Amino acid sequence: MSHPRKIYIDTKYKTKDSVSNSDFKIELPETVLLPEKCKAYLDEICIPHSFYTIEAGINDKFYFHLSTTAANPPLDYWIITIPYGLYTAADLATQLSGQMLTTIGQGQYQGVLAASYGSSTQSITIGADHSSIIFRVLTENDIATKLQGTWNTLQSPYDENDPADFNGEILKLSEGSSPYYTYNNAFTSKFVNLNSIRNLYITSSNLGNYNSIGANSERTIIKKVPVDADFNHMIFNNQITGLDYIDVSKQTLKTINFKIQTVDGKTVPLHGAHVSFSIIFDLAD
């Protein structure tokens, strides 16, 4: 039997052992043998924008250093976990204030930091309410080095290679090292990025020949889909170019696995919403 011209994919019909609608397998009704010089294209892509501003394990951790101006201050590093959800910048400032109060609302640090939102600059300001307090809002570089300090006893070690940091993704603190901020010198972020997931990457470990290289050295990407729709709308992509194909020459297909990931290779939660797209096969000239 000749190979199919087109396969329609919909996560409504994923296998029972699939992890989610963004980490799933599709079982074909028959084994498909693809000929030599066969190429494939992804078309008619429909992905719901159902992922939130803050997602657990992607950008939900806020890292900072808090101390006093006494001689040889203790190196107290803190991690705040922001609940996943859909936020405005003002909501995030409110959430940060609440979480800082809850997390460090004790002893010498009780109620010493607060965050506020500046609508004219789309920025978040964090200030200290006591002259003896100094703090840092850590950059991606700071987080990656762990700063060789002593973590507060309430904190757990973290993976510096996968920090899920809010600081870099939302506050855009990606370079350099954080200075100290004080009562008279508050921290003010850059433009708050509420769209930290700019592109979705459809990957498959058994469709294609690993001939693409992602920004994070990922080798299984088969399609990049720009996020061009607002939350609760559908992301459509049906753009095909002659060079944007997947080399599937001589492959045998029965079960195909897919993931929808961020540029960092993290699976994007779709919270139960279904994905659909088509695979079109063609022979190379």
Residues in CB range of 72: below 8 A, 6 or more apart: none
User: Is residue 195 a contact partner of residue 169, using CB atoms and an 8 Å limit?
Assistant: no
Strand 76-81 and strand 150-151: the pairing is parallel
pLDDT tens across the length of the chain (285 residues): 467 899 999 999 999 999 999 999 999 999 999 999 999 999 999 999 999 999 999 999 999 888 877 655 656 778 899 999 999 999 999 999 999 888 776 656 666 899 999 999 999 999 998 888 888 899 998 888 776 555 554 456 677 888 899 999 899 998 898 998 999 999 999 999 999 899 999 999 999 888 888 888 888 999 999 999 999 999 999 877 767 889 999 999 999 999 999 999 999 999 999 999 999 999 876
- Phi and psi at residue 11, in whole multiples of 5°? -70, -10
* Domain boundary pick from 188, 222, 237: 188
Q: Which two tokens stand for residue 192?
A: 């708050």
User: Is residue 40 a contact partner of residue 245, using CB atoms and an 8 Å limit?
Assistant: yes
Residue 70's pLDDT is: 62
Burial 172-202 (b: 16+ CB within 10 A, else e): bbeeeebeebbeeebbbbeebbbebbeebbb
Instruction: Single out the residue of 256, 262, 202, 180 nearest to residue 13, CA to CA.
Output: 256
User: Is residue 203 a contact partner of residue 259, using CB atoms and an 8 Å limit?
Assistant: yes
Question: Residues 111, 21: one domain?
Answer: no
Q: How far apart are CA 215 and CA 96, in angstroms?
A: 31
* Number of domains, the chain: 2
Residues in CB range of 238: below 8 A, 6 or more apart: 43, 44, 45
Residue 175 CA: distances (Å) to CA of 6, 41, 124, 142, 168:
45, 37, 18, 9, 9
Q: Is 169 helix (H, G, I), strand (E, B) or coil?
A: helix
Residue 1 domain-assigned (yes or no): no
Question: Residues 15, 85: one domain?
Answer: no
Place of tokens 């989610």: 20
Q: Is 92 helix (H, G, I), strand (E, B) or coil?
A: helix
Q: How far apart are CA 225 and CA 268, in angstroms?
A: 13
Question: Residues 142, 42: one domain?
Answer: no
Domain region containing 203: 6-51+197-283
* Domain boundary pick from 188, 212, 229: 188
* Domain boundary pick from 155, 188, 221: 188
Instruction: Single out the residue of 33, 63, 27, 62 nearest to residue 256, CA to CA.
Output: 27
Residue 244 domain-assigned (yes or no): yes
Stated as kind and residue range, the H or E segment containing 167 is helix 166-169
> What residues are paired with 124 via a beta bridge?
117
Residue 83 CA: distances (Å) to CA of 21, 28, 95, 127:
22, 38, 9, 22
Question: Residues 181, 90: one domain?
Answer: yes
Residue 72's pLDDT is: 57
Place of tokens 């040889």: 72
- Please give the model's pTM, rounded to 2 decimal places: 0.90
Question: Residues 145, 173: one domain?
Answer: yes
Residue 205's pLDDT is: 92
Question: Residues 156, 101: one domain?
Answer: yes
Question: Residues 69, 146: one domain?
Answer: yes
CATH number at residue 242: 2.60.120.550
